[in-house]
Structure 1
Amino acid sequence: MMMVRIGAHQSIAGGYEQSLKRIANIGGNCLQIFSSSPKGWSFSVPNKSSIDIFVKEKNKLNIDPIYFHATYLINLADGGRIGNLSKQSLISEMNLSPKLGIRGSIIHLGSFKTVKAPLFQDHNMKDKYKVLIKNIKEVLIKTPKESLFIIENAGNRKIGQTLEELSLIFESIDDERARLCLDTCHLFSNGYKFKNDNELNDFINKLKKLKLLEKLEVWHLNDSRDPFDSGRDRHANIGQGLMGMDEFKTLINHPLTKKYPFILEVPGFDGKGPDKENIDILKSCVSPV
């Protein structure tokens, strides 16, 4: 039987290697971490000793794959100071990834702010969209080929909210290192759901049509505190939100989706972040055959 990869976001407090111990302690076998504060621009490269310890512990515990989640301050549609800081932050992080055996960075692209969709008008790209693509391409040029640039579908009216917009972005980037992370809470809040195989098949066919299935790298599994198609992005523990368990059971057992890593970003039943109880709930959803 194929091993399902179920993990969670964990803290690097006390050293990068501590995140590996934390995920192993709650029963996870894949991992997501921040490289620095998610609400700041500071970036500190671990020394060689710390890197060696992390890699050794990673192999010992068989935690794989591992992803960085980029700082929440990123806005690659900005043509000024914030855009430059966003690029430098990602370049630093994505250059570190291969040294640690990390796949790459999962990224919220940012916001067009006052610029509204559609991104094309009269067959011309809007200026903010041109800035976004230019900045992404610069990051890719300045980072190693082993490091993936993983775009997360957006919640709360940000860039990459719809599958069509994501497809357009990937087409414009035109780089095999650009990949996709799908967050179940964000999908639910933006009008996508799949409570059974038929609905998930329809969703997968839409991904195929938009050339997004070939880009898919990882899933974020989060329940939603808000109703379907609400446009809001507030995560809930698995089974405590409004999505229902059928969606998670369907996703984690479907032959075309069960092969991907599943990463939890839930508040935790004790309010301290992703925990063993959430991971155990997901494990209980896995069909024995």
Structure 2
Amino acid sequence: MRIGAHVDPADPLAEAAARGAEAVQFFLADPQSYKNPEPREDAERLRASDVDVFIHAPYRLNVASTNNKIRIPSRKLLMTHARAAAEIGAKGLIVHGGHVDGGDLAAGFANWRKAFEYAEKDGGLPLPILIENTAGGENACARRFDNLARLWDAVGEFGAGFCLDTCHAFAGGEDLVGIVDRVKAITGRIDLIHANDSKGGFDSGQDRHDNLGNGKIDPELVVAAIRASGAPAIVETPGGVEGQRADIALLRERSGA
């Protein structure tokens, strides 16, 4: 079981060492833009490291959108970030489930499928795309698990992976008790856990992460999800090195990792 943190992209391996982390996650470009990643001087070090690397796609990426000015650049951005992530030896590219601009979620699921079809026509994806559940929005493709099932009907055959965020699930209105079994019944897999506490209450729709034990989630439920999934875990929590180091230590101690 590998446990790590979302870190600043400048020197991820140094950030991992400072936290006692076995895995890191970071952005390859401004998460609020459509900018393409730049080549990294530390690519060889990252590939050779025994630290597991995961890349988070920009927040702006929304392949489910029914707005052509968002969806089409998002498809292209998915490919450029996937290729850049593969170049540094990343184990997966995490992408939020996205949302549609109106009430027709069926269009969003169809657009997700088209994104994978587009990728296949463009040479194929060089690493797993890990779709992440989200906390808010009534037109979200991966907030409620009934919608997640519809999404997986559209993309499951393309080998899509899944990233379970505990804060997003809780704030999105999904009970954390037995959550791994419910997710695996839909997706067949969990590739990564985002192990986060939640500042917002259950079903609040608030995407506000907190340090483990400081928010509204019983830390034992987060630990139980990690144990049941057997997946690596990344904390996306506040407090910098000290806050995340404490969260990693808590997870390691209670999970027996």
**TM-score (ref. length: structure 2):** 0.89
Find out whether 1:151 has 2:131 as its counterpart: yes
* 1:263 corresponds to which of 228, 234, 245: 234
Find out whether 1:88 has 2:49 as its counterpart: no
2: distance between equivalents of 1:207 and 1:136?
21
Structure 1: gaps spanning 5 or more residues: 120-125
**TM-score (ref. length: structure 1):** 0.80
Tell me by how many angstroms 1:251 deviates: 2.6
Listed one character per residue, the Cα deviations across residues 136-182 of structure 1 (whole Å, up to 9, x for unaligned) are 43135435454111100111123211122112112212434311100
Amino acid at match of 1:206: R
Q: Runs of 4 or more off by more than 6 Å in structure 1?
A: none
2: distance between equivalents of 1:43 and 1:217?
25
Find out whether 1:221 has 2:195 as its counterpart: yes
* 2:207 corresponds to which of 233, 248, 258: 233
2: distance between equivalents of 1:143 and 1:273?
42
Tell me by how many angstroms 1:43 deviates: 1.6
Aligned residues: 254
1: distance between equivalents of 2:256 and 2:242?
26
Structure 2: gaps spanning 5 or more residues: none
Tell me by how many angstroms 1:273 deviates: 8.9
Amino acid at match of 2:99: S
The DSSP-based 3-state class of the residue aligned with 2:60 is coil
Identity %: 26
Q: Judge which range, 177-186 or 104-113, deviates more.
A: 104-113
**Where does residue 187 of structure 1 map in the other structure?**
169
Structure 1 residues 144 and 89: CA distance shift in structure 2, 3 A: same
2: distance between equivalents of 1:143 and 1:94?
12
Find out whether 1:9 has 2:2 as its counterpart: no
Structure 1 residues 141 and 174: CA distance shift in structure 2, 3 A: farther
Say if 1:147 and 1:177, in contact at 8 Å, map to a contact too: no
Structure 1 residues 283 and 89: CA distance shift in structure 2, 3 A: same
Listed one character per residue, the Cα deviations across residues 230-267 of structure 1 (whole Å, up to 9, x for unaligned) are 22211111110011222123234x3x32x210001111
**Where does residue 252 of structure 2 map in the other structure?**
283
**Where does residue 95 of structure 2 map in the other structure?**
107
Find out whether 1:209 has 2:191 as its counterpart: no
Amino acid at match of 1:279: I
Structure 1 residues 239 and 69: CA distance shift in structure 2, 3 A: same
